[in-house]
Amino acid sequence: MVISNRERQHPGVVDGKIMPRPNGRPAGMIFFNHQGNEAGGLVFDESGGNGHFLQLTFDKSRQDQTLGLRHLESDNGQYFAGLQIWDRPHNSLADYITRSETIQKMPNGSEKDAAMKELGRTYFSPERITVGKLRDKSATIVLSDGQGKPRIRISVEDTGNPRLEFLDETGKVTYRLPEQR
């Protein structure tokens, strides 16, 4: 475990590869497993104004976070607070970084664009579940499909109005309770 301020924070390691962090990393604690790979962390930072974020995350082996408890606050005081779950592939984040660095060195054009698109497909990591208080003050549960598209949304507005919605792959509501008048 590493506990540090922003200036001295560890960038993280997966399969012996240092994770590139061009803008540094926020203060907090970074957890490492028995193999020396990053396994999650508790970080906190400000947004440059009155807002800030705090998050406790746990990583899939050799990957990024799969489970996160997060508080994300804007300068205007609106915030998200809740649980998020991601679906990570069974491959190494180090491989993704190596391939990404190689692609970035390619000349701009259709070949580079195709390579980046394929890289995105190979390492796609959709958010699958969100449970929290959203910025609009609703208490919401969102269940998403394997492509990260919301398919079921359950919410209660801060005024007390409940809603259950089923969505198609384009995000269009196909069924709603209570039915919309």
Q: How far apart are CA 77 and CA 137, in angstroms?
A: 11
By mean pLDDT, which of 23-27, 30-34, 168-172, 173-177 is the weakest?
Answer: 23-27
Q: For residue 68, what are the β-bridge partners?
A: 57, 84
Among the listed residues 139, 136, 163, 138, the one whose alpha carbon sits nearest the alpha carbon of residue 152: 163
Instruction: Summarize pLDDT for 29-58 with one digit per residue, the tens.
Output: 999 999 999 999 999 988 777 888 999 999
Query: Which of 40, 41, 83, 43 lies closest to 61, judged by CA?
Result: 40
Which position has the higher pLDDT, 77 or 163? 163
If you ran DSSP here, which 8-state letter would residue 64 be given?
-
Q: Are 52 and 43 in contact (CB under 8 A)?
A: no
* Residue recorded with tokens 């926020």: 26
Confidence of residue 6 (pLDDT cuts 50, 70, 90): confident
If one compares 19 and 155, the residue with the highest pLDDT of the two is 155
Q: Where are the beta strands (DSSP E) in the chain?
A: 2-4, 13-14, 17-18, 27-32, 38-46, 52-59, 65-73, 79-86, 127-133, 139-144, 150-156, 162-167, 173-177
What is the mean pLDDT of the segment spanning 133-156? 97
Residue 59 has pLDDT above 80, yes or no: yes
What percent of the chain shows pLDDT beyond 90? 75
Picking from 164, 157, 168, the residue whose alpha carbon sits closest to that of residue 180 is 164
The C-alpha atoms of residue 131 and residue 138 are separated, in whole angstroms, by 11
22 or 169, greater pLDDT: 169
Burial 86-111 (b: 16+ CB within 10 A, else e): bbbeeebbbbbbebeeebeeeeeeee
Q: What is the pLDDT of residues 106-127, one digit of tens each?
A: 999 999 999 999 999 989 999 9
pLDDT at 35: 92
Q: Which amino acid is at 71?
A: H
Please give the pLDDT value at position 48: 74
Chain position carrying tokens 């962390």: 41
Residue 181 banded pLDDT, cuts 50, 70, 90:
low
